[in-house]
Amino acid sequence: MPDATANLNSLPLAGRIAVVTGASGGIGGAIALELARQGADVLVHGRTRAQAAQSLAGAIGELRRRTHVVLCDLASRTDRERFVQEAWNWLGKVDIWINSAGADVLTGEAAEWSFGQKLERLWNVDVRGTIALSRMIGRRMKARNPKPGGTILNIGWDQAEQGMAGDSGEMFAAVKGAIMAFSRSLAQSLAPEVRVNCLCPGWIRTAWGEQASAYWQERATRQALVGRWGAPDDVARAAAFLVSPAAEFITGQIIHVNGGFRYA
């Protein structure tokens, strides 16, 4: 009879401990599940969506991977510090840290906020949260013995460098552009023990995409060279590759996952 454990141990991320922030939905949830499929044990982070986080943890458990859930607000310094400590203590190390959490200011009541309110929330969660978590976990990874230290993956935006007109374009270009620039520098600070890359999704059909107007539906399809919206799984598969041993010579890079961008 085949040894199921042996099959699990042959997976690309077998034996790796991963943390995915913002994993209670959307891109983060897809990434967490894909890492588990490829053999990693995965800590699931969310802010308030406890039921969604627990449901994802259940799916990870069904894949025979260890899992744990932490709920906290990444805009809070105290919560961030507690989170990193709990994540590290869970299984005694962290090999993979993915900063997928991002403030949703496009749907729900936040969609009615002022530009200033939206920008403040994005800055506190996406930028300050990513920077603080990356630095805290990066120091632990770099100092870890035995080596290697691990890998950090941040989330940018494919249009941050070229820009996009409108309030959303201005906000997300500033916020995600900051994360992209930070990731390049952090890769140099943590080398050679820790790899750092930044994944930049394009038009991905998450909660906002599901309810976007006909204009945005057409624009997203037209601007992708492959002629379709991206799916969270498209980003998840790229993320799983970048944190795997197969990508051990890739660091300090900004990598777009957008189906090819058409400037039209």
pLDDT tens, position by position, 94-108: 999 999 998 888 788
Pick the CATH number of 4-256 from 3.40.50.720, 3.65.10.10, 3.30.420.40, 3.30.390.50: 3.40.50.720
Residue carrying the six token digits 């897809």: 30
Phi-psi region of 172 (alpha: psi -120 to 50; beta: other; left: phi over 0): alpha
Q: Give the Cβ contact number of residue 249 at 10 Å.
A: 6
Q: What is the pLDDT of residues 38-50, one digit of tens each?
A: 999 999 999 888 8
Residue carrying the six token digits 């990508």: 247
Q: Report the distance separating Cα 111 and Cα 245, nearest Å.
A: 40
User: Residue 206: which pLDDT band, with cuts at 50, 70 and 90?
Assistant: confident
Residue 224 clears pLDDT 70, i.e. is over it: yes
| Domain range annotation of the chain | 4-256
Q: Report the distance separating Cα 257 and Cα 100, nearest Å.
A: 14
User: Residue 58: which pLDDT band, with cuts at 50, 70 and 90?
Assistant: very high
Give the pLDDT of residue 2: 42
- Give the tokens for residue 64: 């025979």
Q: Report the distance separating Cα 26 and Cα 206, nearest Å.
A: 6
